[in-house]
Structure 1
Amino acid sequence: MRMPGIRALIALILIMAAAALAGRAADCASLSRTSLPDTTLTTAQSMPAGRFVPPYGRPVDKLPAFCRLAGVIRPTSDSDIRFEVWLPASDWNGKFLSVGNGGFAGSINYYAMADDLRRGYATAATDTGHEGDAEDASWAFKHPEKVVDFGYRGLHATAENAKALIQTFYNSAVRHSYFDSCSDGGREALMEAQRFPEDFDGILAGAPANFWTHMLAAAVEIIQGMYGKDPSAYIPSAKLPAIQSAALAACDAQDGVKDGIISDPLRCHFDPSVLLCKGKDSRDCLTAPQLSTLKNLYAGAQDSHGKQIFPGYMPGAEDGPAGWAPWITGSGPGKASGPVYAENYFRYMVFQDPAWNLLSANVDITEAMADEKTGAILNATDPDLGRFRTRGGKLILYHGWNDPAISPLNTINYYNSVVAKMGAKNADSFLRLYMVPGMQHCFPGPGPNWFGQTGHPTAKGKAYGVFDALEEWVEKGTAPGDVIATKYLEDDVAKGVQMTRPLCPYPQIARYKGTGDTNDAANFVCRAP
């Protein structure tokens, strides 16, 4: 007699659940009528759980059901800022997490959005006002307003729209808002903290390209020195293993462990002269012109007066698929990302001349024109974060010591400038920097490179996740200390842990205690250098 009653109850529950889902679906569709400044919503669609196939790129799987919103923002007649907002259909954690871009942007980062959605966040992303390959800036030719959209306007407008749509969908304001990205996304992160401190409560900025103008002016000087003036000065990628081996031989053991990682490159006094060929040229040595190039890469580009334009690279991870080859040396002169980015930037953003020649350009004029034309739009170097601090914002920076795309010293320089401007005590109340030994650009490299940064979430909590530590700081006032980074075998979580190592709040570094497994973070301690 009780069974029919139970069945009826179950049926009623299922009907109510279906009705609730249908109601939420209707809520999603109704958002298409939401009025937002300078904005047209083009999509308001309830997406089922499972696979999502984005307009470009590979499909993403294992997504919860969500409300997908897409639109275009046109603050000027030449603007075309595409954006998307994804809202969990259930189990929203009450937070908003926005993601950024790499290179010259030009696409929506669906994969970072998917990571965030799986963890219960409402999330948003933008193409920053144009569509195209991340290395291509031809869209900027004779379109100055699009450069502004890319520089800062697109992300800010997207954040404002996302918060309004979240409020409408859930009938509840965001409890906490976050931004997490790397590379140009790191520049975007700092731009937000400096220009729009009300947008986000917590910001995680990795390897920020925030001194954009000098970073790419430096690329011109380096490339000219490498093969523009003397083709024999070019270092073939085949010689990178020998360079890395010599650097490791000089400095690897300084932290007490010989593990193929230089934990404190600032105190590595590696003399590249040991690589000078003593006889016939080979892949195991450098000719005199090549040695000069290597020294310049470590020292950083300089103008004609000997003033540094941008800091140099650190020794210890020159080789490997994500080392200097794809970014600096390439498969031949000019066949690397560095010259491609520099050429696109100066042709289409600075000089508005598609025929501009990187190899014959005057470096001093190039640097000055970059600052004049785009410095105020693209650089995010203001050390005064007083407004962000006053409203309770928290900022965590991180950078791989062996980044071949953006010198890690640039991030240290910015951190030091904030400390100098605001004072050590004030800076310590809202700012942290973590330098990552052996990590290259944003993630790859031989070092411990998985610590909860963008694209690499962890479920282990604040001890293992820098983003989790940021949330604890924002929401509970618990300032972050050491964060344990993990290196997985072949960078594959499924293959197990190769090593763990603490990441220390700068300027501390991790030192081996002297006993125990050197692959276990528990046997290291953070100390002042």
Structure 2
Amino acid sequence: MKYFLWGMVAASSVYLPVWAQQTVSATRCDEMTAVVLEHAKVVEAAPAVEADLEALKVRDVASLPAFCRVRIVDTPSEDSEIHTEVWLPMTAWNGKLRAQGNGGFAGTIYYDAMGETIRQRYATVGTDTGHTGGKPEFALGHPEKVKDFGWRAVHDMTVEAKTLIEAFYGKPQQKAYFTSCSDGGREALMEAQRFPADYDGILAGAPAYNWTGLMVGAAENTKWMRADAANFLPAAKVPALGAAVNAACDAKDGVKDGIINDPRACHFDPAVIQCKAGDGERCLLPAQIETVRKIYRGPVDDAGKVVLKGLESGAEDGKEGWAQWISGDKPGSNMPFFGEGFYANFVYSKPEWSASEFDFDRDYKLALEKTAADLDAKDVDLAPFVARGNKLVMYHGWNDPAIPATMSIDYYEGVVKKVGEEKAEDAVRLYLVPGMQHCAFGPGATEFGQGMGQRSDAKHDIFTALEQWVEKGTAPDVLTAEKSEGKGAERKVVMTRPLCPYPQVAKYNGKGNSNKAESFTCVMK
């Protein structure tokens, strides 16, 4: 077996703080099995093995620094079995903890993200939230596992990681950070709301904080598209819909470039591409037009009141557009995974439950009563989090086809109203990303450090900007996002755009290369 025992270069150590010069032995790593944790047990602790990491799909394992891999089983209830891993650099630890969140229904540890975090000399932690695999069946008849998934596992992993850090290094971490997107964004807000002492800085992308509302919308749309074959929007028609949206809205921001800077200015009517005669991939039938309108509007109750805003125009086409999240090759091939999976397993405990049974008023109320307390992270009272001097940075792609970007606006504005503008200005930021789909990808400049390719420049890396805000008091302002082609040494930046702190939006200056950030200015909407 090849262990990672990567020694420090003595000549470089003089430039490091004293605590960063520490090299921790393999023996100390082995001793982590004796650390006592509340309702949890360290089941294995040893220097990481290259072959094991390769099996976990961690990239470039040969270049990773030596680290202690600690595996934990957490049992906060009789029905819980939460698997967590804490990775601790054995040399040149930077003194910080950076935790990883999850996506979808969780069920796995994001080992590759942990590897990149270790590469940057953070201690890191991840959890499967109490079940294996990303399907919703784990919740069927297991209310304690729902709690683990909803909030308990992430808090527990945080406490466990901090305990192990102090035992391993003989001192606590200087700062702790949490970063994730989608369900991980929901986890991030749950941490800020319920456990404000857990993290000094939180980066929350496209947070699915209104989990109940999102699942209700998925169930309602699934029912509608199955009710009549004519309602279904085939994936083959999505490109034509996206092209029509761009034709109607792209130029409203002053430049025609395939990117809609602020979709709220676009009031697109899908009837403009109604089929004149017959059917075809470049037009929509009347029932399909109504489907598109329902998706834009969002779910409504029986009285016609919208309970969750729908998607903005612009999210239709692309690698992670409607064809993946909403439509498909045949009716009902995608959204049921969430809508039906949620109701069958979390709410009704009936594996055979179908969206055809969905009744909005009854089933929305039932979900709120049964699971919202454990899954929804809608509390805008971040006063305890803010009072500690903690910082929250949110981001959301305007082209997100899974979670409406307006959800993040609503949450941000709710926090500002609750804690006050002055306190919010000192603690919370929101960045809306033109042309970005769910957490990444899309036609816009969608690379700004939200993944794991961290740069040292806080103007280009949103996590570094968060760190500097927490550690130096330098609040983030306008960031620069990039769009690139190629990877590694072959990577070439082909577009840059400013990311403006909400409520500012990027406005084209009227001249200059629209692929250059300097051709735009952030202005108040």
TM-score by length of 2: 0.93
- Structure 1 residue 57 displacement after superposition: 4.4
Alignment of 1:385-404 (within 5 A): 385-404=382-401
- Structure 1 residue 345 displacement after superposition: 0.9
1:509 maps to 505
Distance 1:21 1:391 in 2: 29
Alignment of 1:171-320 (within 5 A): 171-225=170-224, 227-320=225-318
2:449 maps to 452
Kindly indicate whether the alpha-carbon contact (under 8 Å) linking 1:248 and 1:262 is maintained by their aligned counterparts in 2. Answer: yes
Distance 1:383 1:399 in 2: 17
Structure 2 residue 423 is matched with structure 1 residue 426: yes
- Structure 1 residue 303 displacement after superposition: 1.4
Structure 2 residue 348 is matched with structure 1 residue 347: no
The C-alpha deviation readout for 1:454-497, integer Å capped at 9, x for no partner, is x3433141100111110011011111101111111268873311
1:406 maps to 403
Alignment of 1:490-505 (within 5 A): 494-505=490-501
- Structure 1 residue 507 displacement after superposition: 1.1
Kindly indicate whether the alpha-carbon contact (under 8 Å) linking 1:318 and 1:324 is maintained by their aligned counterparts in 2. Answer: yes
Distance 1:432 1:23 in 2: 37
2:371 partner SS: helix
Kindly indicate whether the alpha-carbon contact (under 8 Å) linking 2:498 and 2:520 is maintained by their aligned counterparts in 1. Answer: yes
Identity of aligned residues (%): 47
The 1:106–1:378 alpha-carbon spacing in structure 2 relative to 1, beyond 3 Å, is same
Give 2:403's aligned amino acid.
I
Distance 2:237 2:270 in 1: 13
- Structure 1 residue 21 displacement after superposition: 10
1:471 partner SS: helix
- Structure 1 residue 108 displacement after superposition: 0.6
Distance 1:91 1:140 in 2: 41
Give 2:174's aligned amino acid.
R
- Structure 1 residue 289 displacement after superposition: 0.6
Structure 2 residues not aligned, in runs of 5+: 1-9, 12-20
- Structure 1 residue 22 displacement after superposition: 9.2
Q: Tell me which moved more, 51-60 or 84-93.
A: 51-60
Give 1:159's aligned amino acid.
T
Distance 1:70 1:272 in 2: 52
- Structure 1 residue 179 displacement after superposition: 0.2
Structure 2 residue 366 is matched with structure 1 residue 369: yes
The C-alpha deviation readout for 1:380-437, integer Å capped at 9, x for no partner, is 0001000000011100110000111111111111111111212222211100000001
Structure 2 residue 457 is matched with structure 1 residue 461: yes
RMSD: 1.8
Give 1:63's aligned amino acid.
L
Distance 2:158 2:185 in 1: 16
The C-alpha deviation readout for 1:28-59, integer Å capped at 9, x for no partner, is 011111111111111111126x6652664465
Kindly indicate whether the alpha-carbon contact (under 8 Å) linking 2:96 and 2:176 is maintained by their aligned counterparts in 1. Answer: yes
Distance 1:230 1:243 in 2: 20
Kindly indicate whether the alpha-carbon contact (under 8 Å) linking 2:220 and 2:355 is maintained by their aligned counterparts in 1. Answer: no
Which of 318, 321, 324 lines up with 2:319 in the alignment?
321
Structure 1 residues not aligned, in runs of 5+: 1-12, 15-19
Give 2:517's aligned amino acid.
A
Q: Tell me which moved more, 59-68 or 340-349.
A: 59-68
The 1:21–1:412 alpha-carbon spacing in structure 2 relative to 1, beyond 3 Å, is closer
- Structure 1 residue 121 displacement after superposition: 0.5
The 1:317–1:94 alpha-carbon spacing in structure 2 relative to 1, beyond 3 Å, is same
2:482 maps to 486
Give 1:284's aligned amino acid.
R
Distance 1:121 1:238 in 2: 45
Distance 1:320 1:400 in 2: 13
1:125 partner SS: strand
1:308 partner SS: coil
1:107 maps to 108
Kindly indicate whether the alpha-carbon contact (under 8 Å) linking 2:222 and 2:339 is maintained by their aligned counterparts in 1. Answer: no
Structure 2 residue 71 is matched with structure 1 residue 70: yes
Distance 1:494 1:53 in 2: 26
- Structure 1 residue 256 displacement after superposition: 1.7
- Structure 1 residue 60 displacement after superposition: 5.0
The 1:310–1:492 alpha-carbon spacing in structure 2 relative to 1, beyond 3 Å, is farther
The C-alpha deviation readout for 1:76-97, integer Å capped at 9, x for no partner, is 1111010000111111111000
1:208 partner SS: coil
1:33 maps to 34
1:481 partner SS: coil
2:68 partner SS: strand
Distance 2:154 2:28 in 1: 25
Distance 1:59 1:251 in 2: 40
- Structure 1 residue 214 displacement after superposition: 0.9
The C-alpha deviation readout for 1:224-283, integer Å capped at 9, x for no partner, is 22x232220111111111111111111111222211110100111222221111122111
Alignment of 1:38-53 (within 5 A): 38-47=39-48, 53=53
- Structure 1 residue 103 displacement after superposition: 0.7
Distance 1:70 1:395 in 2: 29
Give 1:120's aligned amino acid.
R
The 1:492–1:256 alpha-carbon spacing in structure 2 relative to 1, beyond 3 Å, is farther
The 1:503–1:311 alpha-carbon spacing in structure 2 relative to 1, beyond 3 Å, is same
The C-alpha deviation readout for 1:159-190, integer Å capped at 9, x for no partner, is 00101111111111110000000000000000
Distance 2:268 2:456 in 1: 37
The total of aligned residue pairs comes to: 506
TM-score by length of 1: 0.93
1:8 maps to none
- Structure 1 residue 348 displacement after superposition: 0.9
The 1:21–1:481 alpha-carbon spacing in structure 2 relative to 1, beyond 3 Å, is closer
Kindly indicate whether the alpha-carbon contact (under 8 Å) linking 1:217 and 1:309 is maintained by their aligned counterparts in 2. Answer: no
Structure 2 residue 518 is matched with structure 1 residue 519: no
2:355 partner SS: coil
1:302 partner SS: coil
